Amino acid sequence: MVTKESFRAAVAHFATGVTIITTIDDEGVPHAMTANSFTSVCLEPPVVLVCVAHGTHTHGYLERAGRYGVNILRQEQEELGVYFAKRPEDRVGDVDYSYGTSDGGAPSLDNAMVFFDCKVVGSHVYGDHTIFLGEVEEIRQNDASTPLMFYRSRWYNPATE
Ligand SMILES: Cc1cc2nc3c(=O)[nH]c(=O)nc-3n(C[C@H](O)[C@H](O)[C@H](O)COP(=O)(O)O)c2cc1C
């Protein structure tokens, strides 16, 4: 039988990069959460997806804003990955970050490796998550560096492990 625990442990073997999904809250303020469910969907048109749990704040904000940013983190940005994986009320401490704004209106995280500005063009509710398809309307790329990775429920650096 596939239990929640065995499923979680098995999918944890799939090594991923780490993104921060940004959107705008109901007051127009940038909101962010850590996500590794990001993937590209198709080239024409350029579309990506992210799966967002219904229990997150991001879910409602993103649904209402109809727009999101995907910010791929660098290896040195683990602190941001940890910070934005906490619920907003637990995000305490001195974590250094700032936002810019894309032409489309999604917040971009300054110094992320790559930023995609996405307009929601489709969504699919399944179980406790919604898959949000986003058409990429702008890409910003910083200089090349090593991506932050996540593997077996841990932050991971293939160069040092
Ligand atoms: C490495 C990592 C990846 C995550 N990926 C996702 C994801 O793809 N989708 C999701 O809904 N939550 C994901 N989470 C959990 C959210 O970051 C977490 O629930 C966060 O507190 C949500 O913030 P919010 O309630 O402010 O939106 C991930 C957490 C970690 C540490």
Write the pLDDT tens digit of every residue in 64-97.
Answer: 999 999 999 999 999 999 999 999 999 998 899 9
User: What is the b/e burial string over 19-35, where b = at least 16 CB atoms within 10 angstroms of the residue's CB?
Assistant: bbbbbbbeeeebbbbbb
Ligand 1 contact via 55 beta carbon (within 6 Å): no
What domains appear along the chain, each with residue ranges and CATH number? Answer: 13-89+97-150 (2.30.110.10)
DSSP SS3 for 66 = coil
Distance in angstroms (rounded) separating the CA atoms of residues 154 and 71: 19
Ligand 1 contact via 114 beta carbon (within 6 Å): no
Q: Which pLDDT score, from 0 to 100, does residue 158 have?
A: 76
pLDDT category at 161 given cuts 50, 70, 90 is confident
Ligand 1 contact via 16 beta carbon (within 6 Å): no
The size of the chain, in residues, is: 161
Q: What is the pTM for the complete model shown? A: 0.97
Nearest CA to ligand 1 atom 20: 85
Q: 57 alpha carbon to ligand 1 midpoint, in Å?
A: 10
Q: Which pLDDT score, from 0 to 100, does residue 16 have?
A: 98
Ligand 1 contact via 124 beta carbon (within 6 Å): no
